[in-house]
Every structure is written in structure tokens, then in C-alpha cells.
Amino acid sequence: MTTSSAAATFTALQVMQDAPVIPVIVLHDVAHAVPMARALVAGGIRMLEVTLRTPQALACMEAIAKEVPDAVVGAGTVRSPADAAAAAKAGARFAVSPGYTSTVGQACRDHGLSLLPGVASGSEIMMAQEDGYTELKFFPAMQAGGPAMLKAWSGPFFDVRFCPTGGVTATNAHDFLSLPNVACVGGSWLVPADALAQGDWARIVALAREATQLPR
Ligand code: 3PG
């Protein structure tokens, strides 16, 4: 990654190529946001997907954007134009969606957010490609066919790069990362709920560091 200024924008491909894993983060307490982000950055992971699944998510993004300049905060679980607008206002610089609609894509473009649209079928890939997306999240990856599905897609969708997410773990990440059409994986294992609850930031540093060592 060559860009490091806080104001920089990142393409979806840059977001995917920064590290082997994008952490999928669920935060219930704003007080956890900054130390957690610092721990991930200390372990070598700076593209952080904070999911819009809790009432605290937007405030957490804001805190990270303001106080952890080496992190690049993104919004996960973006399901509507309103989600995209709120995420951009909170300081998110990229978005990840569990599925894809053209209106969500347009809202992300309007707000300057690069988007990793979620797909689970050939038709969904084609819809996202029609709107110009070539970097896609495969979700839910394990449940929807795992590495075998990505191998099958590599024929007709030879020009698409994927970030499989959903059921990916430290143990099976390599099965995905070794595929030529996989740029990175997403997963929640880097930020375990019990580590957050206990304030065990050292564990999150260690999990991040291990993730950066995954070959791809
Ligand atoms: C999600 O959106 O919940 C992600 O896919 C994370 O899934 P995981 O908890 O299986 O990593």
C-alpha cells in the first residue's frame, strides 16, 4: 500500500490487497472502538470493517476515524442508501454490503465510498458487473459453496476478484487465499467478543499479526 494520509481514498482493490484478512467487527461499546482499532493496527491490519449491526456502530466509526489515523475505517452490513450516507458521515472510507442493489451502489458512489458488494450467485455477480464492480465479497462463503464455488466461478467470471466472508477462520483461510481469484478474506475471528469484553487488546494484536502472515 502506498497511500497513507488520513484523507486518502481507497479503491476496493486497494482495500482488499492491504492485508490477507479484513476483520469483520461487531462493537457494542464505544469505549472498545479505539483500543481495538489500535490493537489491529499494531498487529498490521488497518482496513477495518465495522458492521452497522449495533446502535453504537456509527459512534465507534467516528471515534476510530478521529483517533486512530493509521486505521482506515469502513462500514460493513451496508444495506440501504441511508446506511451509506450515515457511514460516510461517520468517517467511513469504504463500504461492504451483504448483497447488492444498484441503489446502494449509487449511494456509495455519491458519498465517495468504494464498495465491496456481496454476491452469492452468478446472476448477482452479473448485476454487480453491469454496474462496474469487479471486486466482490462472496457471502456467506462457506455456506454458499466455499472454495469449490470460487473455483467454478473462475471460468465464466475470470475477471472478478473475491473477498470470501462468512465461515472463514484462521484454519480454513488458506483454502481460500490460495485461489487465484481471491484477493483477501473477511472474518470475525480477529476480534472475538470475549477479548473485547475483557479488554484483552494483546490477544487482538496477536490475532492480527497471525493473520498478516497468512500466505496468499
Ligand atoms: C458477517 O458478515 O457476519 C461475516 O460474514 C462474518 O462472518 P464470520 O463471523 O463467519 O467470520
177-212 pLDDT tens trace = 999 999 999 999 999 999 999 999 999 999 999 999
**Residues classed as catalytic:** 49, 137
**d(Cα 44, Cα 46) in Å, to the nearest integer?**
6
pLDDT digit string, tens, across residues 103-122: 999 999 999 999 999 999 99
Q: CA–CA distance from 101 to each of 28, 54, 131, 153, 216 (Å)? A: 28, 22, 10, 21, 30
Stretch 174-178: mean pLDDT? 98
Query: 153 alpha carbon to ligand 1 midpoint, in Å?
Result: 21
pLDDT digit string, tens, across residues 123-146: 999 999 999 999 999 999 999 999
Tell me the Cα Rg of the chain.
16
Query: Looking at residue 167, what is its pLDDT?
Result: 98
Tell me: pLDDT of 1 over 70: no
Q: From the CB of 139, is ligand 1 less than 6 Å away? A: yes
Query: 23 alpha carbon to ligand 1 midpoint, in Å?
Result: 9
Tell me: pLDDT of 7 over 50: no
> Is 116 in contact with 96 (CB distance < 8 Å)?
yes
Query: Looking at residue 9, what is its pLDDT?
Result: 81
**Average pLDDT value over all residues in the chain:** 96
Tell me: pLDDT of 33 over 80: yes
Query: Looking at residue 3, what is its pLDDT?
Result: 38
143 CB-contact burial (10 Å; exposed 0-12 / middle 13-18 / buried 19+): exposed
Q: From the CB of 117, is ligand 1 less than 6 Å away? A: no
Q: Which atom of ligand 1 is nearest to the CA of 188?
A: 11
Which residues have C-beta within 8 Å of that of residue 61, sequence separation ≥ 6?
Answer: 33, 50, 73, 75, 87, 90, 91, 92
Which cell numbers in the block locate residue 123?
446472476
What is the pTM for the complete model shown? 0.95
Query: 95 alpha carbon to ligand 1 midpoint, in Å?
Result: 15
Which cell numbers in the block locate residue 93?
472510507
Q: Which atom of ligand 1 is nearest to the CA of 169?
A: 11
HSE on the CB side for 112, CA within 13 Å? 10
Helix (H, G, I), strand (E, B) or coil at 169: coil
Query: Looking at residue 8, what is its pLDDT?
Result: 62
pLDDT digit string, tens, across residues 151-169: 999 999 999 999 999 999 9
pLDDT digit string, tens, across residues 39-62: 999 999 999 999 999 999 999 999
List the Cα angle 166/45/112 in 5-degree steps: 80
Q: From the CB of 24, is ligand 1 less than 6 Å away? A: yes
Which residues have C-beta within 8 Å of that of residue 164, sequence separation ≥ 6?
Answer: 137, 138, 139, 141, 146, 147, 150, 176, 182, 185, 186
Specify the fold of 12-209.
TIM Barrel (3.20.20)
Name the DSSP class of 30.
Answer: H
Domain locations in the chain as residue ranges: 12-209
pLDDT digit string, tens, across residues 61-104: 999 999 999 999 999 999 999 999 999 999 999 999 999 999 99
Q: From the CB of 187, is ligand 1 less than 6 Å away? A: yes
